[in-house]
Amino acid sequence: MNITPVLEDYLERILIMQKEKKVVRVKDLADYFKVKAPSVVNAISKLRKEELVEQESYGFITLTSKGKTLAQEIYKKHILLKDFLHKVLYLDRTLAEDDACKIEHYLSKKTIDHILAFMDFIKCKDGFPKWLDHFYYFVDTGKRPPDCKCQEDD
């Protein structure tokens, strides 16, 4: 399969739009990506060749079952990375969203699996571990919190 990061973005967006609106049109995608309709038509044509989407002539765009499976994998990676960047690295939600979008297509499956394992590992029934709160404090102030029992670097 020859799916570029741009085509992955289209699959992910189609999945999200189908959940939100139930129907996806070329115009919707062009508006979202801030491109002209012919660019969208070209991308949809490539996705059709890969049997990832279906589209009636000048009609709605839908994911095939193969396309939906791939789109869900891409979206899952996006959410995982956004959560990691926001909840662990303590980045602003908007920046985490933007950066997740930029890097989601370039990480190996092994790296994604390790981030997922890390996220699962640090979750506690009460949320996240205390050391993560210490990290947030450190990011905000440049200092370790008073109750941190970490060894200071000299």
118-154 per-position pLDDT tens digit: 988 887 767 778 888 888 989 999 988 888 776 655 4
pLDDT digits (tens, 9 = 90+) for 74-107: 999 899 999 999 999 999 999 999 999 888 888 8
Q: What is the reported pTM?
A: 0.80
Is the four-CA dihedral 3, 65, 32, 82 of positive or negative sign?
negative
> Where does 53-111 show beta strands of DSSP type E?
53-55, 61-63
Close Cβ partners of 33 (under 8 Å, ≥ 6 residues apart)? 9, 10, 13, 39, 40
